[in-house]
Structure 1
């Protein structure tokens, strides 16, 4: 897919850029408690300022469902954004109408304004054409820098892009380039890691990936379901036994398409999930008691996975290999993450990861900064991996 970026935008001086950002940040007591999403937007904002454009930021916060909810105002974002940007940021009490028009018109070249929560208007989530037209009145060009919201066909993510010259912002560009390098046009061989608790929530993902990857490692509770489907004793482990037929079908599809599935060959079991719990490592297939729970992949499984990484050029990762939040059941995830990070740092592997649990696991392992790219986009990242079209991205195609 080719898409328009800010490098394709000409003569921005004096023009107003409507920039869709993701400022749905953690807040507590009216204060921003984690500013990663603000930092991510800075390169786009600064690039537009340097080009002499006025920058009007569009964003949502929480789920006000078309109502004006005081506790869901974006106003608390202004002060931390000013600090990060090192420049004044104005605030408008609405994102459309006279209030917004007057505030945007009052900006100097290079000025920045944050408009109030677009979801205060019901037309946003309905992708209402009239609401999109009201937004479009405020600007000359549209920039989408919120990949995390690109899977939603909303007025500020898709409708507006159809009304103004539309471009991908710097964060969006990096995300799309990384995902293209991981799944679109990857260096082969390609290995995937998919973990997490349930096969049912990642069915589309698995079915898409087995047709695109050379190897696919399955971990977490999902692996228990696949082991169960093969007749392996999983004791009292978390598994979706009603998904056994589906798991077998996925294994058959993988075999037919030449994708090697890597399931655990040994596992770490314990009677309870608590920090420092007594554990033992057993071969997959050994008899387990009804109290035994498989909570992590074993060292042989990790060794096989890291060897598969060594033989690959590209890795795409979504989901942990065990209950990483509760040591010692983080061992497999941490070991795999550290190995992937080393390969990525040395230029031997393009390693792209994403999804909430995955990002948390990589931070836990201390490897997030060493991967080629880590997406914080959550649902949009997952839908991209599932092979689904993202409305906000489709609207940016050149």
Structure 2
């Protein structure tokens, strides 16, 4: 796997597949504005910050950077008008504003491939790629149009593994390389697979049940404990295939009454396992962490930091 280098992107137009799939929230209502004009803002920026080293590297060396990324799961193309009717709640505009503040420079938000191609800006953010027909269908025709926007492709979206035009086809059409954080993720997972430090604890949360159940099965083979929270916990026990594997080291957390967070008793029951771990891998939130009243993810994170585990 080639890693991005100065020579790879020097004076090139770079298509940067970035992980912009982050939690958003409604901004506070500005004085004098009607409620329906409240805007969405980024509420959790861990993924965005993780890719900044690669983005800055490309900006320093490339002639132009076009960021491609998805946000949420818009309605399928067959349920949308032609051309796509973007949902304001899933627009990349909050990402544009976050990037401008973080980088201290203008970021152009392009709502079409034509706009992105014609832009003279050094940094362009393409609107939510899942708004475009051909992305989720992994259309070869759409992939070729995307590839025509740049000279090289850099992947800094490690978690974007679902087959799609921008992730599985575009890299085959042009020179491609892995981003700096992407390659670090690969290194860590290889260590987890081949030589994890013991005791090794995995924490799994989030809502993408169909994606994460197989991962839990793999982790259970190497981990001393797999701690499951979030929506994943509510779905896990109903999956007969997983249950039949008799994975005694997989601990399913209890949820609170409204199901929006793990229960406080679950957090405490995990304490000794987390505090005694030498290596911890965590994927996905354990609850609706962006709402302050659901604070168990934060408490588990504090335990992880206190543990000193890798």
TM-score normalised according to structure 1 size? 0.58
Aligned to 1:90: 108
Aligned ranges 1:212-251 → 2 under 5 Å: 212-213=221-222, 215-216=224-225, 240=237, 243=240, 247=243, 250-251=245-246
Aligned residues: 273
Aligned to 1:5: 3
1:352 partnered with 2:281: yes
Change (3 A) 1:122 1:216: same
Structure 2 CA distance, aligned partners of 1:208 and 1:219? 14
Q: CA RMSD in A?
A: 3.9
Aligned to 1:32: 41
SS at match of 2:9: coil
Native 8 Å contact 1:17 1:56 kept in 2: yes
Change (3 A) 1:190 1:250: farther
Structure 1 CA distance, aligned partners of 2:144 and 2:238? 50
Shift of 1:178: 1.7
SS at match of 1:5: coil
Aligned to 1:74: 92
Aligned to 1:65: 76
Aligned to 2:293: none
Q: Among 123, 136, 140, which residue is 1:129 paired with? A: 140
Aligned ranges 1:57-206 → 2 under 5 Å: 57-62=67-72, 63-66=74-77, 67-71=84-88, 72-94=90-112, 96-97=113-114, 99-103=115-119, 106-107=120-121, 111-149=122-160, 151-183=161-193, 185-187=194-196, 189=198, 191-193=200-202, 204-205=214-215
TM-score normalised according to structure 2 size? 0.72
SS at match of 1:159: helix
Native 8 Å contact 2:202 2:219 kept in 1: no
Shift of 1:239: 9.3
1:364 partnered with 2:299: yes
Structure 2 CA distance, aligned partners of 1:170 and 1:178? 13
SS at match of 1:24: coil
Shift of 1:326: 3.1
Change (3 A) 1:241 1:140: closer
Structure 2 CA distance, aligned partners of 1:219 and 1:24? 21
Change (3 A) 1:332 1:358: farther
Structure 1 CA distance, aligned partners of 2:96 and 2:216? 41
Shift of 1:78: 1.8
Shift of 1:134: 0.5
SS at match of 1:148: coil
Q: Which runs of 5+ in 2 are unaligned?
A: 27-37, 78-83, 290-295
